Amino acid sequence: MSTPEPRDPTVALTAETQAALSPMDVLQALKDGNKRFIDGTPLERDFMKQVRETAGGQYPMAAILGCIDSRVPHEIVFDKGVGDVFSARVAGNFVNTDILGSLEFATAVAGAKVIVVLGHTECGAVKGACDHVELGNLTSTLANISPAVYAINDFEGERSSKNKDFVQAVAHENVEMTVRNMVDRSTVMRNLVQEGKLMVIGAMHDVATGEVMFMEESMITAETL
């Protein structure tokens, strides 16, 4: 089998170039993009050219589920362009029925190969859940993060947003639980993983450095399902 030419990442994905990517290729493309972001060497892209290239259809490589935090813009921190990634964002990067449905579209219908659950340091939603904040509709939003707060049950020290280590432990746990929820609560995505067409992985973005640390131990593939 001949090795295909590496695709030009500044050209929008097509059905063919999307099909040629494995989940591991996509993971590497995300890691490479974050490396360029933190090195200050993002690719030069003509966004309007990509708009024209994608007008007839989209073939993204990945779907990112992240927080609404203004410091974690997906396309920027992974150095991606128009048509490259689906982006689902909700305070505290958890899944509910609507987000699972959106990600089922992104993967089963539109062919994304990797889902990244992207938590981040200094997450206000996680801090709110740690402090059991109640405010309008936010109360029920934060209830989605509470299982991660209670799962950190052997923590020594103050269990509040004042304690950075506790907040980070909850944020990490929340990402791991969300990765697991993805395949536990979605038969569609579970089947894609079983068929080797999808990988789900957690990651943590450091808002102080811009670096995304992939949590390799959280990775769910056909082998680890």
| Residues making up the binding site for Zn(2+) | 67, 69, 120, 123
The one segment of 18-26, 31-39, 117-125, 167-175 that binds Zn ion by CB under 5 A: 117-125
Q: Name which of 113 and 172 has its Cβ closer to Zn ion.
A: 172
User: For the CA atoms of the chain, what is the radius of gyration?
Assistant: 18
Rule CB under 5 A: choose which of 21, 62, 67, 192 binds Zn ion: 67
The one segment of 39-47, 78-86, 104-112, 123-131 that binds Zn ion by CB under 5 A: 123-131
Asked if 117 contacts 124 with a C-beta cutoff of 8 angstroms, the reply is no
> Which H/E stretch holds residue 164?
helix 164-185
The sign one gets for the Cα dihedral 186, 187, 189, 190 is positive
Rule CB under 5 A: choose which of 37, 54, 69, 173 binds Zn ion: 69
The one segment of 121-129, 152-160, 170-178, 202-210 that binds Zn ion by CB under 5 A: 121-129
The one segment of 81-89, 115-123, 127-135, 214-222 that binds Zn ion by CB under 5 A: 115-123
Q: Name which of 67 and 100 has its Cβ closer to Zn ion.
A: 67
Rule CB under 5 A: choose which of 123, 142, 182, 189 binds Zn ion: 123
Least distance in angstroms from the C-beta of 126 to Zn ion: 6
Alpha-helix runs per DSSP H in 43-163:
47-54, 74-77, 97-104, 124-130, 138-142, 146-151
- Tokens representing 172 are 């990490």
By the rule CB under 5 A, 85 interacts with Zn ion: no
By the rule CB under 5 A, 125 interacts with Zn ion: yes
Q: Name which of 106 and 125 has its Cβ closer to Zn ion.
A: 125
In whole angstroms, what is the distance from residue 219 CA to residue 213 CA? 13
The sign one gets for the Cα dihedral 17, 18, 22, 28 is positive
In whole angstroms, what is the distance from residue 101 CA to residue 89 CA? 13
Q: Alpha carbon of 153 to those of 94, 148, 207: distances in Å?
A: 20, 9, 26
Residue type at 145? Answer: I
Least distance in angstroms from the C-beta of 187 to Zn ion: 29
Q: Tell me which residues in 141-200 interact with Zn ion (CB under 5 A).
A: none
- Contact residues toward Zn ion (CB under 5 A) are 67, 69, 123, 125
